[in-house]
Every structure is written in C-alpha cells, then in structure tokens.
Amino acid sequence: MPAQNRPPSSGRSLEHPDRAEIRLEGVLHAFSDPMRLQIVRDLAAVEGELNCSVFDLPVSKSTTTHHFRVLRENGVVRQVYRGTAKMNALRRDDLESLFPGLLGTVLEAAGRQASRLAVPS
Amino acid sequence: MPAQNRPPSSGRSLEHPDRAEIRLEGVLHAFSDPMRLQIVRDLAAVEGELNCSVFDLPVSKSTTTHHFRVLRENGVVRQVYRGTAKMNALRRDDLESLFPGLLGTVLEAAGRQASRLAVPS
DNA sequence: CGGTTCGTACGATACTCATCGTAGTACGAG
DNA sequence: CTCGTACTACGATGAGTATCGTACGAACCG
C-alpha cells in the first residue's frame, strides 16, 4: 500500500488557531526569535512542506519542538504527522489574507540583514 | 531668550543604536507588544514628533517609560529632550533603508486587524 | 516480536519582561 | 528659591520563555 494513498495524518492531531484567531502581535513575536526566523526562512525557501528533522538548528531536540510549537500556536505554520515524521508548512494563504505583504517583507528584510552581517567589509 | 533659539536638547542625552546596529529581531520584538504597537501607530499617524505624554496608554507612567525605552533601544524611535518634555519620532528613514516596506506593511496589518476586531459582525 | 527513528512530555533552571509604586532629578514658571 | 510638571531610576513581583536532559510514545523495518 503506497504511503501517499493513506490518510495524511495517522492519528495524532495538533491544535491550530483558526485564521480569524491569528493575531499580528503573536506572529511578530514568533518572528522575533532568531531560531524561529531561521526556520521560517528555510520553510519559505521551498514550496512544499518540510520534515522537522531537516532543520539543522544549534539547539537540542526539545528546544526545536518548543520553537515549532510557538510557530504553530501563533498561526505561522501548519503541522501534520505523516508516519513518524512531522511535516511543516507555512500558512502562506492565511497570513497573506490577514496581513498582505507582511511575510514577504519580513523575509526580504531577513535576507538583507543576513547579507549585511555576512560581509564585515 | 526665546526657547526656539536654544540648542534642541538641553543636556541629557539618550543612547540610540546606530543604523547599522539595528537588528530585525529587535525591531520585530519591539513591534510584538500591543502597547508598543499602539505607540508606533500613533507616532506614524502624525508627521513630526510627539510628546510622551500625549499617549493615553492604560498603564502606569513607569511602564510607559519602559516601552519607550524598548522602542528606542531597538532603533524604532528617536527620542530627544526638549525642556521637560521628551519628544519621540519614528526612525522612518533608517528603518526604510534597512528593511524596505517593513514599517508600512506592519502598520497596514495593524490597521486591518484593528478594523477586523472592532467589528464582531 | 525487537530495535530504530522521530518526535513529545515533563521537570528543572535561569533569564527576560511587563507591570507597578515610590522616590528622585531636570527643567521651566512664578 | 519654591513649586509643579515630566520623566527616570530603582526595587519588587509575577508571568512568560529558551534552554536542557531524560524518559516516554508512535510508527516503521526487520
């Protein structure tokens, strides 16, 4: 039985805020941690969803779980179990509809700052 | 001696980060508190600078001072003493140069959310 | 079944932060 | 010089959070 024909989530379910429950302050707070901003940038760099474990963060597994939960509870990412893996995807549509352009400008700002700091010059 | 002929700041000086020292995470963190977001919105609504005391925040004066300091230390506002008053102005140029469009999208997002929450419909 | 991998839950710790009240300083007006 | 206004500094407090290690659970592979 091919994996892609099974139900996407095999049991465990995660709490996600509705679109209407997402708060700007919460989203900004989620973005304001370097670790989480990095996660969001990585997630934005690909189109689909990413396994939790592809992120190479300089913190322990527990801490990584914590940061993903903050992102989820503030409506930034959607998480779903797929076998033993937990897939993560940005909630692009919800964010764009609530706060047009915000994700884009933040990502661009993060990119600019990364370039700026990378070149001591 | 007319007040407007004296130097703008009469002695006390405040610490401000250079443009190059402003960090995106810090700016986002400064924005992520409802009280501070309100201050930024009020400040953006006028062109010039605003006295601290025109803000009618539902917190004590000590707390207000604290929030203004966070905004200043993260490079969001420029503060200067003018007599007994402390004037506040957004650092529009610095923010725009570092993170183009960010201030605008955040302000628009805040406006949208305010309208959305005001109408329970 | 047993083992492996991936992620969670829980408890602990140390740090940050939003808030307050009180006391103090700087400035301008009288 | 004295008073009032505007804001700060300091200390306290309660809540949140970033971090960890260890122990557990759920799914897959033999």
B51-84 pLDDT, tens digit per residue, is 866 778 899 999 999 999 999 999 999 999 988 8
Band of residue A109 on the pLDDT scale cut at 50, 70, 90: very high
CB A32 within 8 A of CB B32: yes
CA dist., res. B10 & res. B80, Å (int): 9
* In chain A, residues 63 through 82 whose Cβ sits under 7 angstroms from any atom of nucleic acid strand C: 64-65, 68-69, 79
Say whether A112 and B98 touch across the interface (CB within 8 A).
Answer: yes
pLDDT of residue A115: 95
CA-nearest residue to A117 within chain B is B20
pLDDT of residue A12: 66
CA dist., res. A118 & res. A113, Å (int): 8
AA letter at A26: G
Look at residue A11 and tell me whether its pLDDT is greater than 70: no
- Sort out which chain A residues have CB atoms less than 8 A from B20's CB and list them: 116
Q: How far apart are the first and last CA of chain B?
A: 58
Per DSSP, the residues of chain B read --GGGS-SS-S-------GGG--HHHHHHHHTSHHHHHHHHHHHHSSS-EEGGG---SS-HHHHHHHHHHHHHTTSEEEEEETTEEEEEE-HHHHHHHSTTHHHHHHHHHHHHHHHHH---
CA closest to D18 C1', residue: A63
Could you say which nucleotides of strand D lie within 7 A of any protein CB atom? 4-11, 17-23, 25-28
Nearest to B113 among A24, A33, A116 (CB): A24
Q: Determine the distance in angstroms separating the CA of B82 from the nearest CA of chain A, rounded to an integer.
A: 32
pLDDT of residue B3: 35
Nearest to B25 among A26, A34, A105 (CB): A34
- Residue A20 is classified by DSSP as G
- Residue B48 is classified by DSSP as S
Kindly give, in sequence order, each residue whose CB lies less than 8 Å from that of residue B91, ignoring residues fewer than 6 positions away: B75, B76, B77, B78
Nearest to B101 among A26, A105, A113 (CB): A105
CA dist., res. B28 & res. B17, Å (int): 15
Residue B24 near chain A (CB below 8 Å): yes
Look at residue A40 and tell me whether its pLDDT is greater than 80: yes
Look at residue A2 and tell me whether its pLDDT is greater than 70: no
- Reported as type and span, the H/E element at residue B75 is none
Residue B97 near chain A (CB below 8 Å): no
Q: What is the mean pLDDT of residues B4-19?
A: 65
The sign one gets for the Cα dihedral B18, B20, B21, B24 is positive
CA dist., res. A79 & res. A47, Å (int): 15
Residue A24 near chain B (CB below 8 Å): yes
A116 C-beta less than 7 Å away from strand D: no
CA closest to C27 C1', residue: B84
Q: Which position has the token pair 């474990």?
A: A53
CA dist., res. B75 & res. B22, Å (int): 6
Percent of chain B surpassing pLDDT 90: 69
pLDDT of residue A7: 41
pLDDT of residue A63: 96
Highest mean predicted confidence (pLDDT) among A84-88, B16-20, B115-119: B16-20
CA dist., res. B78 & res. B84, Å (int): 16
